[in-house]
Structure 1
Amino acid sequence: MDDIDLKILSAVQENARIPVSEMSRNIAMSQPAVTERLRKLEERGVISGYRAKLSPSKLGKHTTAFVLFKSNDCKKFEAFAEAAPEIVDLYRTSGEYNYLLKVVTESGETLESFLEACNAFGFSSTLVVLSTRFEDKSLI
Structure 2
Amino acid sequence: MDHIDYKILSLLHENARVPISEMSRNIAMSQPAVTERLRKLEEQGIITGYRAQLSPHRLGKHTTAFVLFKTSSCNAFVAFSEESPEIVDLYRISGEYNFLLKVCTETTESLAHFLDSCHAFGFSMPLIVLSTAFENKSLVVDHA
Q: When the two structures are superposed, what TM-score results if normalisation uses the length of structure 1?
A: 0.99
In the alignment, what sits opposite 1:30? Answer: 30
Query: 2:51 — aligned with what?
Result: 51
Structure 1 CA distance, aligned partners of 2:105 and 2:72? 24
- Name the aligned partner's letter for residue 66 of structure 1: F
Among the aligned pairs, what percent are the same residue?
72
| Superposed displacement of residue 7, structure 1 | 0.5
1:90-133 deviation line (CA, Å, top 9, x unaligned):
00000000000000000000000000000000001110000111
Residue 116 of structure 1: SS of its match in structure 2? helix
Gaps of 5+ in 1: none
RMSD: 0.4
- More helix per residue: 1 or 2? 1
* Residue of structure 2 in register with 1:132 after alignment: 132
Moved over 6 A (4+): none
| Structure 1 CA distance for aligned equivalents of residues 15 and 75 of structure 2 | 37
Unaligned residue ranges in structure 2 (runs of 5+): none
TM-score, normalised by the number of residues in structure 2:
0.96
> Structure 2: which amino acid aligns with 1:123?
F
Supply the AA of the counterpart residue of 1:6: Y
Alignment match, 2:121: 121
- The alignment covers a number of residue pairs equal to 140
Shift of 1:20: 0.5
Q: How does 1:74-85 map to 2 (within 5 A)?
A: 74-85=74-85
Aligned mates of 2:72, 2:123 — CA distance in 1: 9
